[in-house]
Amino acid sequence: ICTAREYNIRAVRILGLDIGARRVGLAISDPTATLARPLAVLDVAGTDPVVRVTSEVARLLQDEEGLGA
């Protein structure tokens, strides 16, 4: 297993998606891309999942504890 440093990646955050038929889970890595923490679980049943996920990501970008943290 290689670390982010070995790939010459610095201060990067990786957004993880766990895609299911009814729910989509969002997680974000720390700046070293070593650890991840959960952000949200979105209920996408009965909606357009792409619209639901992109609107939540846009909201999290504005949130202090979300993607920008």
Residue 30 CA to residue 11 CA, distance in Å, equals 8
Tell me the pTM: 0.74
**pLDDT-based confidence at residue 1 (cuts at 50, 70, 90):** low
Looking at residue 13, its pLDDT comes to 83
pLDDT digits (tens, 9 = 90+) for 13-68: 889 999 999 999 999 998 888 899 999 999 999 999 999 999 999 988 887 666 66
Amino acid at 64: E
